Amino acid sequence: MYMSCASRGEGAWGCTLPSKDKIDGTVTAGNASTLNDGAAAVLLARRDAAAQHNIPPIARILSFGDAATGPDEFAVAPTLVIPKILDMAGLTISDIDLFEINEAFSVVPILAIKKFNLDIDKVNIHGGAVSLGHPIGMSGARIIVHLLHVLKSGQKGLAAICNGGGGAAGMIIEKL
């Protein structure tokens, strides 16, 4: 088994941290996101309300939903919400241009990449919470705002995030 360890940086805590998931497991504080400060805002409005206030919409929500599993299987929860919101929008994985899958733990997007055979170049294209940080209570807005900035007109983005206790939320947007 190949193992490497960063020797410097905010999140370098050593290579031999105890596993959080099981004996000989791989989920440790070393491959989890750090807790950070951050801010993001999303303004939701009906099209007519935005027009009334001269606010041009930049995207539309195609679908959103929640899914859950047991707390001990929290990392797979986003893989449960993804097919649900795709079905609600009448879309398939191949219709999605970019994915933002919050990685409170690095295994979360990896599970989705493997389960849905996602193109890794379309997932968390500027890094996820392990590299950017995970401001609890703001990360869902952050991944949506990131999609809003990187999608081009007509492109679709899918966001998914664990929300504690085995739950996950997801949303598909289309950039206008």
Q: What is the pLDDT of residues 21-44, one digit of tens each?
A: 555 666 666 666 667 777 888 899
Does 87 share its domain with 146?
yes
Distance in angstroms (rounded) separating the CA atoms of residues 174 and 65: 16
The answer to whether position 39 is within a domain reads: no
Distance in angstroms (rounded) separating the CA atoms of residues 167 and 95: 25
Q: What is the pLDDT of residue 37?
A: 77
For all residues of the chain together, what is the average pLDDT? 86
Percentage of the chain exceeding pLDDT 90: 59
What three-state secondary structure class fits 16?
A: coil
Does 56 share its domain with 3?
no
Domain holding 146: CATH number?
Answer: 3.40.47.10
Q: What is the pLDDT of residue 145?
A: 93
Nearest to 112 by CA among 83, 85, 149, 143: 83
Q: What is the pLDDT of residue 1?
A: 42
